[in-house]
Amino acid sequence: MDYNQLSFQLAAVTRHAGQFIRQEAATFNRSHIETKGVHDLVSYVDKETEKLLVAGLREVLPEAGFITEEGTEGANRAEGYNWIIDPLDGTTNFVHGLPVYCVSVGLIHHDELVAGVVYEVVRDECFRAAKGAGAFCNEIPIHVTDVPDLNSSLIATGFPYTDFGKMDDYLQLLGAFMRRSHGVRRVGSAAADLAYVAAGRFEGFFEFNLNSYDVAAGILLVREAGGRVTQFLEDGDPLFGRQVVASNGLVHDEMQSTIREFWKE
């Protein structure tokens, strides 16, 4: 299968879904918010966007199944190929009118990432990657930075909002990164964070308690842009491992070493 060509089709479907989100953002009313858990928000925009994506992706690759955030009816996992969909990564940002939220879709073949797109809606930036074909933003090639050390790096992270059991470890870890880098940023969308590492806007990103649909496309973007992605303390599978460290590769060992000082499994 030509994964590069497939990623072009994926980008078109993702852009179409993003247009719907952009349209709804203009008139969105907070009374339409639902709660999946403590501080875990969802709206009709998330659900309708996912339906659009499922319908469009079925035309691109009919035999593929789905791993979705919102559980669209009939979107079930299959053998072989599966789309991993986050229809609106950064829902809280969207609800509050903060202009950083993305559509994120990755494609796996037997758990190997082979294509991915992160579409940042407000900036109209489409980050695309395919296995062995590189990474692009609006079809311009992107690459991770060549910054050699953590001290000269800008780092991104995400703050826990539902699971606070690791809060003490996390706050110590956050403090260490603040002291040892140019700064730490919290954008509010893991998909955007990973795309920004791939595009050279951040040198690194770390976060825990993530789902596969938060990171699938972004992991491939970073790798195809020349970076490295692992779990916190080892080179385990970050796609389903619930924790991610992504970097330009050059600062990765320093990031993992810093995490190792404060993080307890």
Segment 209-222, tens digit of pLDDT: 999 999 999 999 99
**Positive or negative CA dihedral for 126, 130, 136, 139?**
negative
Q: Model-level pTM greater than 0.75?
A: yes
Is the pLDDT reported for residue 39 higher than 50?
no
Residues with Cβ within 8 Å of 53's Cβ and at least 6 positions away in sequence, in order, are: 13, 14, 17, 83, 85, 87, 103, 105
Mean pLDDT score, 77-97: 94
The confidence score (pLDDT) of residue 159 equals 84
User: Does 163 count as an annotated binding residue?
Assistant: no
Dihedral sign, CA of 142, 243, 259, 173?
positive
- The CATH number assigned to the domain with range 150-262 reads 3.40.190.80
Does the annotation list 46 as a binding residue? no
- Given this model, what pLDDT does residue 38 score? 41
pLDDT recorded at residue 56: 97
9, with CB counted inside 10 A (0-12, 13-18, 19+), is middle
E strand or H helix at 35: strand 33-37
69 is in an annotated binding site: yes
Flag whether pLDDT at 61 surpasses 80.
Answer: yes
Is 86 annotated as belonging to a binding site? yes
pLDDT band, very low/low/confident/very high, at 33 (cuts 50, 70, 90): low
User: Looking at domain 3-141, which CATH architecture does it have?
Assistant: 2-Layer Sandwich (3.30)
Q: Which residue spans of the chain are classified as CATH 3.30.540.10?
A: 3-141
Asked whether residue 162 carries a pLDDT value surpassing 50, the answer given is yes
The stretch 138-162 carries a mean pLDDT of 94
Which is nearest to 194 in space by CA: 219, 175, 169? 219
Query: CATH 3.40.190.80 residue ranges in the chain?
Result: 150-262
pLDDT confidence band for 40 (50 / 70 / 90): very low
Q: Is 253 annotated as a binding residue?
A: no
